[in-house]
Structure 1
Amino acid sequence: MSSTLAGAFGIAALFVAVLALVFAIQALRAQSGTPKSAQKSATPQEQLQPQVEPQQPEAKPGTVKSELRRLSKELEAARNELRENLQHLAVVRYDAFGDMGGRLSWSMALLDDNGDGVVLTSINSRNDARSYAKEVKAFESDSKLSPEEEEAIETLRKDAVPTLDDQP
């Protein structure tokens, strides 16, 4: 295929794309109900009068605008729910007793974006293992925390991302 023929096809494709864009804009205007008289430029007298913003009518169900509004509301609701899920995890492994190695004991903090959740601890000895669960609110606990439990919570506190409400 010669370069002249390729250039002609390119120009034709560009022309079709521009036509499609014009038709898409007209279709959007028709859906939004904007009358053609409102599309023309204002006269000098109209320009001097104070502009009154018309209230935007509620988008018709099934239109792109109404679907975007619905999806935005759903996304915001999902974000709010996600903030309350236990999604942040920090584990600290250690040797609880000097005569036993392998760091088989552990403390794990499971918190949401607000620092609420639980810290779980398992202390392993030669004869048994004991497990503990302590409630955490705003990165603090009413129960006395071990240094390893505090370390797990502090790791998550340092990694906490400030929400938009916390920013000035």
Structure 2
Amino acid sequence: MSSTLAGAFGVAALFVAVLALVFAIQALRARTGPAAQTTSGTPPEPEPQPAQPEARPGTVKSELRRLGKDLEVTRGELKETLQHLVVVRYDAFGDTGGKLSWSMALLDDHGDGVVLTSINSRADARTYAKEIKAFASESKLSPEEEEAIDTLRKEAGPTVD
């Protein structure tokens, strides 16, 4: 590359940098407003700001506020989802092995949900579903179903409302 061409690129780059600086100054002046531009040597007094000024749409601040609100809504909805699960396997009858029978509790943070049970024998399998409210059921629960619910109650600890 010749020195003339390099010099031309240098002058063009300097021109672009100065132009960018002028635009940045103009944007800063427009943002601070005419009250900040005084002719005297004393700086202007800051205007009292509201406690939480509303951010302009499309700014990072407004997006963070929106995401914070969305996160709180999501956390509230998550408490009502069936997210806690435990399975208790057992032999329902003495003549079968392999712990093919099972009880599964699916509960939310409030202890509401369902217990599913499958009793397997040599001839057939039976499946039951029982509704659970606040870690209790109106239906009679088997010892294995009680064990599944108690396990989730202990795991939930103080986070359960």
**TM-score higher than 0.5 here?**
yes
Give the whole-Å Cα distance in 2 for the aligned partners of 1:53 and 1:59: 13
CA displacement at 1:54 relative to structure 2: 3.1
Residue 128 (structure 1) aligned with residue 124 (structure 2): yes
Partner deviation per Cα, 1:100-157 (whole Å, 9 max, x = no partner): 1111000000001111100000000110000000000111111100000000000000
SS of alignment partner, residue 147 of structure 2:
helix
CA displacement at 1:63 relative to structure 2: 1.1
Give the whole-Å Cα distance in 2 for the aligned partners of 1:64 and 1:161: 38
Give the whole-Å Cα distance in 1 for the aligned partners of 2:117 and 2:99: 13
Give the whole-Å Cα distance in 2 for the aligned partners of 1:159 and 1:38: 57
Give the whole-Å Cα distance in 1 for the aligned partners of 2:113 and 2:98: 28
Show structure 2 runs of 5+ residues with no match.
Answer: 1-23, 37-42
Give the whole-Å Cα distance in 2 for the aligned partners of 1:141 and 1:134: 7
Give the whole-Å Cα distance in 1 for the aligned partners of 2:124 and 2:64: 57
AA at the equivalent of 2:79: R
Residue 147 (structure 1) aligned with residue 147 (structure 2): no
SS of alignment partner, residue 69 of structure 2:
helix
AA at the equivalent of 1:154: D
CA displacement at 1:161 relative to structure 2: 4.5
Residue 66 (structure 1) aligned with residue 73 (structure 2): no
Greater gyration radius: 2
> Paired residues, what number?
126
Residue 118 (structure 1) aligned with residue 114 (structure 2): yes
AA at the equivalent of 2:68: S
Give the whole-Å Cα distance in 2 for the aligned partners of 1:38 and 1:141: 67
Which of 33, 36, 44 matches 1:37?
Answer: 44
Give the whole-Å Cα distance in 1 for the aligned partners of 2:86 and 2:154: 11
Q: Specify the alignment match of 1:76 in structure 2.
A: 72
Give the whole-Å Cα distance in 2 for the aligned partners of 1:69 and 1:161: 31
Give the whole-Å Cα distance in 2 for the aligned partners of 1:37 and 1:55: 21
Give the whole-Å Cα distance in 2 for the aligned partners of 1:37 and 1:61: 28
SS of alignment partner, residue 37 of structure 1:
coil
1:73-112 map, 5 Å: 73-112=69-108
Show structure 1 runs of 5+ residues with no match.
Answer: 1-22, 41-51
AA at the equivalent of 2:132: V
Using the size of structure 2 for normalisation, the TM-score is: 0.69
Q: Which runs of 4+ in 1 moved over 4 A?
A: none
AA at the equivalent of 2:81: N
AA at the equivalent of 1:58: E
Give the whole-Å Cα distance in 1 for the aligned partners of 2:113 and 2:101: 20
AA at the equivalent of 1:132: Y
